[in-house]
């Protein structure tokens, strides 16, 4: 048994008109699905950011804490 996806409630559309409406609705659904996938994709982190995080330890202010500075 076929599931009813689209129902005509008034008028007598031709097969071409029904095909056009179906194509538009399918395109809108595909666009919405693609947008939802992009919205849930994790943010890309650049290689520059990933490599720079390992170059230095935390900076702690205070007397005697800058002796190891090699700038």
Report which of residues 41 and 16 the model is more confident about: 16
Query: What is the reported pLDDT for 17?
Result: 94
The rounded percent of the chain whose pLDDT value lies above 90 is 31
Query: What is the reported pLDDT for 5?
Result: 76
DSSP codes joined into one string, 12-38: ---HHHHHHHHHHHHHHHHHHHHHHHH
Query: How much is the mean pLDDT over the chain?
Result: 78
Query: Is 37's pLDDT higher than 90?
Result: no
Among the listed residues 56, 51, 52, the one whose alpha carbon sits nearest the alpha carbon of residue 71 = 56
């Amino acid at each position: 048994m076929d599931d009813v996806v689209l129902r005509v409630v008034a008028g007598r559309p031709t097969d071409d008109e029904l095909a056009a409406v179906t194509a538009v609705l399918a395109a809108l659904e595909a666009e919405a699905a693609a947008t939802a996938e992009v919205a849930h994709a994790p943010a890309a982190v650049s290689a520059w950011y990933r490599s720079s995080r390992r170059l230095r330890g935390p900076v702690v202010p205070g007397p005697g804490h800058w002796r190891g500075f090699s700038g």
